[in-house]
Amino acid sequence: MTALNVAGGRYRRRARLRVAAVSAAVAVLGPGCSGAADDGDGGDVVVMAASSLTDVIEIVFEGREGVTPVIAGSSTLVAQLAAGAGADVLITANSATMEQAVSDGSVHGEPVLIALNALVLATPAGNPGGVTALADLGREDLLIGLCAPEVPCGELARQALDAAGIELSADTLELNVRALASKLSLGELDAGLVYATDARMAGLATVDAPELSDHLTGYYIASVSAEPPPQVQAVIDDFAMGGSVGAKALYAYGFLGSDSRPVSAVPP
């Protein structure tokens, strides 16, 4: 009896670990914990940015005090904002997510287009799968990866493939473009559609695919508040003004330039 009791203590402990795991799973659904300041005045300026901007954000805000970047997938960021996460500036990787944020009422400033990004057909260095055209994404013998249609890069890829009428033979639908690029660079996948910027960062080879040139995604910046305080406006200007530090960084990382036009004025 005694022995059983002693053993029982152990299971109880295990059990607590499980509860932790459960609440962690549950937390995925709850509001994201951004550690953000409330309004921007007094605390740091909190900048929520799409994960494809990770390196640009790092360059722009390196050594700069008073700015806290929060990096995640655009849709995650928008969901977090809607759930009440505190932030001052939102940068998304497509127009749909920015529109969602506007219609949620979590963004009050006017969205501004700051860059464009293109999808490319990417392969590991050396192209071991011998990929020559977009149609190869239908080859059964290759391991093909795309972004999941729920995230912007996947939505864009779906549009492009539909337009080109290509029957896809995908093996994985990654939840963000960085993960997809890493698996390509590790050689675990033979081909995939990633943003030009991510292909460049991950050192991937690209294969010409003219069908993709029509499918661009726009990056948008907007202030959460309708009347941003000066330090928040300064952060927006860092990206939205031609020749700004943000614009230069975006260009350096392979983003396509834009003329800082408002959302409604640009094609999707």
| Concatenated DSSP letters of 71-134 | EE-HHHHHHHHHTT---SEEEESSHHHHHHHHHHTS--SPPEEEEEEEEEEEESTT-TT---SG
Per DSSP, the three-state class of 14 is helix
Residue 97, token pair as written in the block: 């997510």
Residue 257, token pair as written in the block: 């330039």
Footprint of other proteins on residues 93-152 (CB under 8 A)?
143, 145, 148, 150-151
With contact defined as beta carbons under 8 Å apart, do 120 and 206 qualify? yes
Q: Does 14 bind other proteins (CB under 8 A)?
A: yes
Q: Which of 51, 52, 75, 217 binds other proteins (CB under 8 A)?
A: 75
Cα separation, 242 vs 30, whole angstroms = 38
Q: Which of 186, 213, 234, 261 binds other proteins (CB under 8 A)?
A: 186
Q: Does 170 bind other proteins (CB under 8 A)?
A: yes
Q: Does 15 bind other proteins (CB under 8 A)?
A: yes
Task: In angstroms, give the least distance from the CB of 24 to other proteins.
Answer: 8
Q: Does 204 bind other proteins (CB under 8 A)?
A: no
Task: In angstroms, give the least distance from the CB of 14 to other proteins.
Answer: 6
Task: In angstroms, give the least distance from the CB of 39 to other proteins.
Answer: 25
Cα separation, 156 vs 162, whole angstroms = 10
Q: Does 178 bind other proteins (CB under 8 A)?
A: no
Q: CA 196, 80, 195: angle at the middle one, nearest 5?
A: 5
Question: φ and ψ at 217, to 5 degrees?
Answer: -120, 145
Q: Does 226 bind other proteins (CB under 8 A)?
A: no
Question: Which residue's CB is nearer to other proteins, number 13 or number 165?
Answer: 13
Q: Does 29 bind other proteins (CB under 8 A)?
A: yes
- Applying CB under 8 A, which residues contact other proteins? 1-15, 17-23, 25-30, 75-76, 79, 143, 145, 148, 150-151, 170-175, 179, 182-183, 186-189
